[in-house]
Amino acid sequence: MSRKWLSNFALAGTIRLLLMNSEYQKTIGNRVEVSTALNSWKRVTEGVYLYEFGIDPYEGDLFHETPIGLYVFKLIQKYLPQWALFLLFVVTDLTTALCLAFTAKRYAIELATKRKEGKEDNRKSSDTPDTSALYVSAGYLFNPYIILNCVGLTTTVFTNLLYSIALVSMMRRSIFWSCMSIALLTLQGLYPVSLMVPATIHIASAAKNRRTNYFYIVTMIIIFTSVLTALFIISYNIMGSWSFLRNTLGFILTVPDLRPNIGLYWYFFTEMFEHFRWLFIASFQINVSLLYIVPLALRLRRDPMLLAFSYLAIAAIFKSYPCIGDVGFYISLLPLWKHLFQHMQQGFIVGCFLLFCTVFAPTVWHQWIYSRSANANFYFGVTLAFAIAQIFLLTDILFASVKHEFAVKHGINKKVNGNEAKLLLE
């Protein structure tokens, strides 16, 4: 097993380094599917350059990282040469895969414990915790979306590391590190605040009585609020003003930059009349940030990890400025629910959708921007199909979870003539 781990990490790191030192690196880094206004390394470089010359990088519409990120990236660019910068991105990506492996192992142990206690399917599973961890880490290391995201030098690499720390902290029931990582993510991207719900549920589930349960919930809220407030104060001290709010959280909420990406916002807000803009902004933001939190939390309260996966998927689909790095992160978690695959019905459709959209997106972009034989409708059609494929994937996983619970509760035999059968609820 250790040989497989080492070979996977060595091969994944080699692939990334070779692509970074090839002629394709700049092409990948300039792709609209990879780099957005929020994660472009080119924008980071220009923002740091302005800051070093005493110009507020938040004055214009160029830089959208947090002041803490600005300070860290300034140190990175000041002290790291080009080869060390590439190595930093690769090591960060490999560390993320390692954190996800620890998360998968803890989750597999919890599932095995539930089986022994009779709360889950009590059949013997062929997957051990180590196998589950290997699948998840390999799913991240060799995910094409993640590889392109790393090679393109996007700051989503560091965001994914924070996501993985948040997940492993949640599974280990670490209150401080869960709050710290989610607070950093919230400061940067706003939408990850929803991860406080599954983290609080999972940590509070360890309580032996209701009073202790309430204690954990209140403690989580207080620590998260305190850490987030401290991060805002640190950001203010770095910049000396609150100007960064308009170009970070305000930029995400108001969507002023309408350059094409794999999301849905840019086309709608380009085509609509200006007096309808705030109505649609409110509708879109409520959809991604508030609409699904309570219903999903009530339904998936017994499986906080699946709840966190759902929130990550919803944010990646409906957020203001998504990129393929966001999509690749939550897709890498799919091996965690290998026991649900037998209940899924749309795997082939979703796989074909994702494959075709991944190929067609750069093709249609070239026809639109360079050949001028297409228009924005063509590219938006591809991004819309890509979003639909992700919605199908998420709903299929959630319905598979419901079918699995039904089968476990009613003791349904899932074998017909000695072969595994699919359960259909009509």
For residue 102, give its domain range.
2-418
In a domain, 202, yes or no: yes
- Please report, in tens digits, the pLDDT of each residue of the chain (426 residues total): 588 889 999 999 999 999 999 999 999 999 999 999 999 999 999 999 999 998 889 988 889 999 999 999 999 998 999 899 999 999 999 999 999 999 999 999 998 888 777 655 555 555 688 888 999 999 999 999 999 999 999 999 999 999 999 999 999 999 999 999 999 999 998 999 999 999 999 999 887 788 888 889 999 999 999 999 999 999 999 998 998 999 999 999 999 999 999 999 999 998 888 888 999 999 999 999 899 999 999 999 999 999 999 999 999 999 999 999 999 999 999 999 998 988 888 889 999 999 999 999 999 999 999 988 888 999 999 999 999 999 999 999 999 999 888 888 777 666 666 666 655 555
Flag whether 149 is in a domain.
Answer: yes
**What tokens does 52 get?**
């070093």
Task: Tell whether 191 is covered by a domain.
Answer: yes
Q: Could you report how far apart the first and last alpha carbons of the chain are, in Å?
A: 42
Would 425 be classed as within a structural domain?
no
Which pLDDT score, from 0 to 100, does residue 406 have? 85
3-state secondary structure of 419: strand
Q: Give the pLDDT of residue 413.
A: 60
Handedness of CA 252, 258, 259, 260 (dihedral sign): positive
- The total of structural domains in the chain comes to 1
pLDDT tens figures, 158-177: 999 999 999 999 999 999 99
In Å, how far are 8, 13, 93, 97, 218 from 3, measured between CA atoms? 9, 15, 20, 16, 44
Whole-structure pTM value: 0.93
**CA–CA dist 134, 14 (Å, integer):** 18
DSSP string, 149-213: HHHTT-THHHHHHHHHHHHHHHHTT-HHHHHHHHHHHHHHHSGGGGGHHHHHHHHHTT-SSHHHH
Q: What is the pLDDT of residue 423?
A: 54
* 423 domain-assigned: no
Q: Tell me if 271 is assigned to some domain.
A: yes
pLDDT at position 275 is 87
- The answer as to whether 412 is a domain residue is yes
In the DSSP assignment, the letter for residue 63 is -
Inside any domain, residue 183: yes
Helix, coil or strand: residue 415 = strand
